[in-house]
Amino acid sequence: MQFSPTNGDFTFVSSTEAEALELSGTIDAPDVKLNLGSDAGKDPYATTFLRQRGYGWLLEIEEEESEDTKPLLEELDIDLKDIFYKVRCVLMPMPSLGFNRQVVRDNPDFWGPLAVVLLFSMISIYGQFRVVSWIITIWIFGSLTVFILARVLGGEVSYGQVLGVIGYSLLPLIVISPLLLVIGSFDVFATVIKLFGVFWAAYSAASLLVGDEFKTKKPLLIYPIFLLYIYFLSLYTGV
């Protein structure tokens, strides 16, 4: 006996009837389109579908960070315009020329003075390369001596400021070196040029380092600065 009740759109068959019939069919899956990348934001259904199932990370786009490559001079903290301005301040120390000479002291740098010291060393070696290291040593320890004296006398300067000022102020000695090559055979003129170069260098350095805070103690600091540049000149002339 077979019983096949009906209930709406569904028909129930008995097991005997099911065996006699060959049942086959297909299930159509919904057509779901996934838009990844930049198009995912335009399809809210696909975005919601992925996020509900824990695949929201597929929608994340990692933007490549562009690494800005800085120029070599900027990496080494070398400002050529600043160095050139300081060179002019030292070579032309007269206040009437309108240069802000305090920038040499208040904004010290290392590469400019080092270049000046190396240039002075190169014109002094005459084939003896050991003089280069000796001049650099005198620059470092001579500046340290001036710094200690300045601090003892009550001056408010740093070692970096003294190092920069002493290094830049070697420029007058570099300027007079070609003249000494020309008039070296004339002892009187050569002596005058040497004294002029030493006074020029000492005045450039002292006018920047010896401030009003020294008051009556200025000669105590100007004198060792003057001796330091005499020694620098002696390294060049061999005297």
Helix, strand, coil percentages, rounded to 5, for the chain: 65, 0, 35
Strands 10-11 and 6-7: what pairing?
antiparallel
Residue 214's alpha-carbon distances to 71, 145, 162, 187, 218, in angstroms, are 42, 17, 15, 37, 6
pLDDT at res. 228: 92
Q: Residue 154 has which token pair?
A: 């009550």
Q: How many residues comprise the chain?
A: 239
* Residue 82 CB neighbour total at 10 angstroms: 15
| Residue 194, Cβ density class (10 Å: 0-12 exposed, 13-18 middle, ≥19 buried) | buried
Could you tell me which residues are beta bridge partners of residue 6? 11
The tens digit of pLDDT for each residue in 161-210 reads 899 999 999 999 988 888 887 876 778 888 899 899 999 999 888 888 88
- Per-residue pLDDT tens for 137-151? 889 999 999 999 888
Structure confidence by residue, pLDDT tens digits, 207-228? 888 877 766 777 888 899 999 9
| pTM for this prediction | 0.62
The predicted structure's pLDDT at residue 141: 93
Closest CA to 109 of 84, 91, 92: 84
Instruction: Look at residue 31 in the predicted model and tell me its pLDDT.
Output: 53
* Chain position carrying tokens 């970096």: 160
- Structure-model confidence comparison of residues 153 and 212, the more confident one: 153
Q: What is the pLDDT of residues 52-89, one digit of tens each?
A: 766 666 666 655 544 556 676 677 778 888 888 888 88
Asked whether the predicted pLDDT for residue 238 surpasses 70, the reply is: no
Rounded to the nearest 5 degrees, what angle is found at the Cα of 107, between the Cα atoms of 103 and 110? 120
Which among 159, 154, 48, 152 has a CA at the least distance from the CA of 113? 159
Task: Report the half-sphere exposure of 225 (CA within 13 A, side-chain side).
Answer: 29
CA dihedral 111, 114, 119, 121 (to 10 degrees): -160
Helix (H) or strand (E) holding 59: none
**Which residues are bridge partners to 7 per DSSP?**
10
Which residues, in sequence order, are bridge partners of residue 10?
A: 7
Q: Which residue has the higher pLDDT, 128 or 160?
A: 160
Tally of CB atoms within 10 A around 169: 29
